[in-house]
């Protein structure tokens, strides 16, 4: 079925900041009954990058995630304004978090995160032909960066050390592409 069985009667903004907008939708559900639906609208697209060097190593970024109250190891990632070229945002983010510049970029994955409550869309890129340089962390970032064999990163997904959804999906897709 491709037709939308939901009918929207009204949309109200409940909360908004520079990154998200929380909306309440008054709807008629597929059964024909009145209801409400909450939606988190993201003002940026998520983008993540898996840099792979000639030796089969990649880079992970570790940081404390406020919303989870936990430390998280992830692939380099960030948000890019919807109206701008997402690849340019990805190049900026890779340089900012790892100091890396890549010659070759391949889009490997499109993902929707928590699609029952949010319209967030993410893109994962494979970055190759790497040149190392200096990081350019944002003032809100306290990051650890480590270079690690990609095979070990796949194992970190399988053992639950990496829990970020975009990281997991991207790592497993690139593992499949590279034949791991």
User: Which pTM value belongs to this model?
Assistant: 0.90
Each residue's pLDDT tens digit, 1-56: 589 999 999 999 999 999 999 999 999 999 999 999 999 999 999 999 999 999 99
At 89, which CATH number? Answer: 3.90.79.10
Q: Clarify whether residues 97 and 149 are in a common domain.
A: yes
Domain count along the chain: 2
Name the token pair of 28: 């008629």
- Identify the pLDDT of residue 1: 59
The boundaries of the domain holding residue 19 are 7-42
Each residue's pLDDT tens digit, 63-100: 999 999 999 999 999 999 888 899 999 999 999 999 99
* Sheet of 57-65, strands arranged across: 70-74, 57-65, 144-149
Q: Clarify whether residues 86 and 16 are in a common domain.
A: no
Report yes or no: 38 and 69 within 8 Å, Cβ to Cβ.
no
Q: Clarify whether residues 92 and 19 are in a common domain.
A: no
Name the token pair of 67: 């919303």
Q: Find residue 78's DSSP bridge partners.
A: 47
User: For the range 77-81, what are the long-range contacts, defined as Cβ-Cβ under 8 Å and sequence gap of 24 or more?
Assistant: 77/46, 77/47, 77/48, 77/49, 77/164, 77/166, 77/167, 78/46, 78/47, 79/19, 79/42, 79/44, 79/45, 79/46, 79/47, 80/44, 80/45, 80/47, 81/43, 81/44, 81/45
- Identify the pLDDT of residue 137: 74
Q: Clarify whether residues 73 and 25 are in a common domain.
A: no
- Identify the pLDDT of residue 135: 83
């Amino acid at each position: 079925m491709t037709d939308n069985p939901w009918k929207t009667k009204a949309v109200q903004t409940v909360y908004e900041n520079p990154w998200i907008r929380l909306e309440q939708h008054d709807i008629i559900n597929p059964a024909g009954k009145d209801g409400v639906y909450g939606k988190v609208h993201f003002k940026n697209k998520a983008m993540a990058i898996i840099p792979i060097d000639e030796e089969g190593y990649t880079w992970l970024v570790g940081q404390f995630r406020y919303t989870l109250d936990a430390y998280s190891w992830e692939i380099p990632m960030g948000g890019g304004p919807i109206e701008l070229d997402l690849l340019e945002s990805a190049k900026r983010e890779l340089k900012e978090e790892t100091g890396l510049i890549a010659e070759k970029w391949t889009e490997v994955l499109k993902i929707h995160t928590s699609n029952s409550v949010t319209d967030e869309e993410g893109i994962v890129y494979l970055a190759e032909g790497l040149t190392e340089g200096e990081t350019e962390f944002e003032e809100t970032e306290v990051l650890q960066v480590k270079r690690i064999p990609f095979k070990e990163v796949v194992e970190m997904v399988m053992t639950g050390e990496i829990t970020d959804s975009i990281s997991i999906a991207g790592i497993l897709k690139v593992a499949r592409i590279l034949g791991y």
